[in-house]
Chains A and B, each alone.
Chain A
């Protein structure tokens, strides 16, 4: 039998990590865009 609590726990952890990574990615792409625009490329 699959433990539903374990499924929920893993889903929650993965969702949290995914949110943090996506947030970091947005910040990174923003920073890259600013730098590249200021270099005139």
Chain B
């Protein structure tokens, strides 16, 4: 054990481990929602500046992920799902992860300000700080509502994409923010129901661990209702057309049906949790298709 520790500390970090710190797979949803926020903004943006804005949002998300892993190395070591990440596996030392995360944060925010505007850069900075300080450091280990707070961090990208174009925020990007914010709890609690034992082992107060499966399933349904309202709202408010409105209503209805099936499921063991797995898989598709529909709707209108 001592030998490997000395070895990893003295070896220069492998670039693949630094890349893994940025959670590239989570970044795909961030990039997609940011791009949609940028595309539905009421004015065009030069492709070079649009590309740079998306790049900055992706780098900011990567920086936040690296700082999250820097802080949570002890937790990650206790969970099967995360034990092979670079820090808990000992392939990278924490200092390197900290420097990498802080450096990438400054780089992404400064480049955003230079390429687009300082308002968008400020929201990017707030979103990184929110994810790292408010969610990771402050609330994740303290409250079973941790994921609700964490959802706010994930809800920033479309807002930043919009702000990069217009220099301000409006009702539509705020509704998109609300949509992702309210979507995160059902999405993540569905996952945490069937990987509950892992969180219990690490002592993270995930809702299923603290309040039980039944309460978690009720919360999933309770968050689905306002989420559906936020998803459909742009249509009656005249911010999107019928294409988006019908798609949002239909997609949200399926979401609600799947959530109700989760609610009706009495299983307490992961192998009986097919509805939870279905809801989790569908929730990712839901967000992709919904945002895609919004962009398609905007292009058809103009």
Q: How far is the CA of A36 from the CA of B45 in the complex (A)?
A: 11
A-chain residues with CB within 8 Å of residue B115 when the two chains form the complex = 32, 36
Q: How far is the CA of A35 from the CA of B13 in the complex (A)?
A: 37
Tell me whether A35 and B15 are in contact (CB under 8 A).
no
Number of A-B residue pairs with CB-CB distance less than 8 Å in the complex they form: 34
B-chain residues with CB within 8 Å of residue A36 when the two chains form the complex = 49, 115
> Which range contains the number of B residues in contact with the other chain?
10 to 19
Secondary structure at the B interface, as helix, strand, loop or mixed, is: helix
> Which range contains the number of A residues in contact with the other chain?
10 to 19
Q: How far is the CA of A35 from the CA of B55 in the complex (A)?
A: 17
Which of B4-12, B155-163, B236-244, B291-299 interfaces with chain A?
B4-12
Secondary structure at the A interface, as helix, strand, loop or mixed, is: helix
Q: How far is the CA of A7 from the CA of B13 in the complex (A)?
A: 9
Q: How far is the CA of A25 from the CA of B13 in the complex (A)?
A: 22
Query: Is B106 in contact with chain A by the CB < 8 A criterion?
Result: no
Partner of A10, one of B7, B13, B46, B48: B13
CB distance from A41 to the nearest CB of B (A): 10
List B residues at the A interface (Cβ < 8 Å).
Answer: 7, 10-15, 46, 48-49, 52, 55, 114-115
Cross-chain pairs A/B with CB under 8 angstroms, 30 sampled: A2-B10, A2-B11, A6-B11, A7-B11, A7-B12, A10-B11, A10-B12, A10-B13, A10-B15, A11-B12, A13-B14, A13-B15, A14-B12, A14-B13, A14-B15, A17-B15, A28-B48, A28-B52, A28-B55, A29-B114, A31-B48, A32-B48, A32-B49, A32-B52, A32-B114, A32-B115, A35-B46, A35-B48, A35-B49, A36-B49
